[in-house]
Amino acid sequence: MNTRDVPNDDTLRRAFTAPFRPAREGADCPPPETLWSSAREELVHRDDDEVLTHIGECGVCAAAWQVARDLAIDSAEQPAPVHVRSAAGWRWMAVAAAILVGLAVGVPMFMEMQESTAPVFRTAEGDWLQPTFDVNEPLARDRCMLRWASGPEGTTYHVRITSETLDLLAQGKWLQSAEFLVPASALEDLPDGARIFWQVSARLPDGRKVDSTTFISTIE
Amino acid sequence: MVREQRGGGDTMSRTSPTWAEVVSREDVEALRSRVVRAVRRACPAWLRNRAEDIVQNVLMQLLAKRCETNPSFSAIYLEKAAYGATVDEIRRLSRTKENPVANEELIEAAPASSADPERSASSLEIGEGIHECLAGLARPRRLAVTLWLLGCGVPEIARRRAWSFKRTHNLVYRGLDNLRACLLRKGLQP
């Protein structure tokens, strides 16, 4: 008996992993890191069973799981990476070390590096966090008001604005209304037509944090 | 100097170093290149038209992280970040399927699609049917068939589940028989 006895039906497989078959109403999709771990056989059987049972109901997570598996296979086929920090990495670390002079450098820095290896998956989706203005319309640098859809009462917002080169221009924290006026001084060095990237994080009253996608606006 | 505003009140200058102050333009470009490579690997072909959005989302996350802790980003860290952002995009796209335009875009892009709209619709129906039929299978068969449908072969399933090859083969083979019979009863013939 060999695997050729099993029907190899691509149609079944493609239909199963089509990402337009969402989970049933109310079912919680596992976070990406759980799908990642399942695809890499890093979960104990009980947890893996839960993930696979959910995938049986949810084509979206089936598609996501398959992406993780493809990545794992791809990684396994590549030569093992040599763990040498890049020159740029060393430069960053050197600057970070300089900033930390005067503090207890050794242990905190080591802990920080350990933390930096943790995944950075987003905690939840924030599709409803959409701009409430036409982002295709240029914004005046002296009246650069960003507005977005409000969450439930009691929601607070963080917003982060960067230049195209990812320089942080401005940020608002613990905002109680769904808007932020970017200080003109933060935009004064940008040329006309420059694009800014901005992203909103909402802290919901129940403690959850949801992130928007990144929006792009043009400054004039 | 970054302007930071809290609670809709005061505007004040940050005293901690900003991204721009800590890293050079070359560093940012180098990071962007690494992120682009990571996203290229993580992003399935049918989602490539969203790759630029995914890159931007990853960069924004990294920026937030760097401003908090000034970490360096290992290759595996970037790969996980790219994967997380890709999953977000898949989920985002699937949730917009009620939007006819987005739905059409997704169906065209997704792996189950074909040039033939009838086949695409049929694939959607089969996907629904598989989901319903899987629920009726006994647990071991359901798990075995689910893994097979996800692209795993019998040896891989056997290893994952710590089952013998023979048992795994039987579970997959009989489970698929059950699945096909169930689909036929629903009038679906893959």
Domain of residue B112, CATH code:
1.10.10.10
Residue B178's pLDDT band (boundaries 50, 70, 90)? very high
Q: Decide if the complex's ipTM is over 0.85.
A: no
Domain of residue B175 covers: 104-185
Instruction: Name the band, by pLDDT with cuts 50, 70 and 90, for residue B158.
Output: very high
**Do residues B56 and B108 share a domain?**
no
CA-CA distance, A136 to B158, in Å (whole number)? 53
Q: What's the pLDDT band for B21 if we cut at 50, 70, 90?
A: low
Question: How many domains does the structure of chain B reveal?
Answer: 2
Cβ contact (<8 Å) for B3 and A185? yes
Q: B174 pLDDT band (50/70/90 cuts)?
A: very high
Residue B78 included in any domain: yes
How close does chain B come to A104, measured CA to CA in Å? 15
pLDDT above 50 (res A58)? yes
Choice between B83 and A18, residue whose per-residue pLDDT is larger: B83
In a domain? residue B165: yes
A176 to each of A9, A147, A184, A200, B150, how far by Cα in Å? 54, 12, 21, 13, 44
Q: How many helices (H) and strands (E) does chain B have?
A: 9, 2
Q: Is B188 on the interface with A (CB under 8 A)?
A: no
B143 or A126, which is more confident: B143
Residues B68 and B12 in one domain: yes
Q: How confident is residue A38, by pLDDT bands cut at 50, 70 and 90?
A: very high
Residues B115 and B37 reside in one and the same domain: no
Q: Do A57 and B131 touch (CB under 8 A)?
A: yes
Q: Do A19 and B90 touch (CB under 8 A)?
A: yes
Query: What pLDDT sits at residue A94?
Result: 43
**A-chain residues near B77 (CB < 8 A):** 116-117, 119-120
**According to the model, what pLDDT value does residue A106 have?**
40
Residues A30 and A61: beta-carbon distance below 8 Å? yes
Residue closest to B176 by CA, chosen among B187, B164, B190, B162: B190
Q: Test B126 with A65 for CB contact under 8 angstroms.
A: no
List chain A residues with CB under 8 Å of B172.
6
Residues B75 and B138 in one domain: no
Of the ranges A184-198, A205-219, B100-114, B164-178, which one carries the lowest mean pLDDT score?
Answer: B100-114
One domain for residues B56 and B78: yes
Q: Is the pLDDT of residue A121 over 60?
A: no
CA torsion through residues B148, B47, A31, A29, sign: negative
Same domain, B25 and B74: yes
What are B52-66's pLDDT values in tens digits?
888 888 888 887 776
Reading the block at residue A8, the tokens are 């190899």
The token pair that represents A161 in the structure block: 């604005």
The residue out of B43, B62, B95 marking a domain boundary is: B95
Give helix then strand counts, H and E, for chain A: 7, 7
Please determine, for residue A108, whether its predicted confidence score (pLDDT) is greater than 50: no
Write down the pLDDT at residue B136: 92
Same domain, B75 and B108: no
Which residues in chain A have Cβ-Cβ distances shorter than 8 Å to B114? none
Is residue B176 in a domain?
Answer: yes
The two tokens of residue A167 are 């320089």
What is the C-alpha to C-alpha distance for residues A128 and B30, in angstroms, rounded to an integer? Answer: 33
Asked whether residue B91 falls in the same domain as residue B108, the answer is: no
> B39: Cβ–Cβ under 8 A, 6 or more apart, which residues?
B51, B54, B55, B58, B82, B85, B86
Rounded to 5°, the CA angle A58-B57-A39 comes to 40
More confident residue, A96 or A28: A28
Residue B190: inside a domain, yes or no?
no
Same domain? For B9 and B70 the reply is yes
CB contact under 8 A, A172 and B4: yes
| Same domain, yes or no: B113 and B174 | yes
pLDDT for the residue numbered B118: 56
Which one is predicted more confidently, B20 or A202?
A202
| A58 vs B147: which has the higher pLDDT | B147
Q: Are B111 and B151 in contact (CB under 8 A)?
A: no
B78 shares its domain with B108? no
Using a CB-CB cut-off of 8 Å, the residues of chain B touching A119 are 77, 80-81, 84
Q: Which residues of B touch A16 (CB under 8 A)?
A: 127, 130, 149-150
Name the domain boundary from B77, B95, B113.
B95
Together in a domain, B132 and B48: no
Percent with pLDDT over 70 in chain A = 68
Among residues B62, B95, B128, which one ends one of the domains? B95
Q: What mean pLDDT is reported for chain B?
A: 77
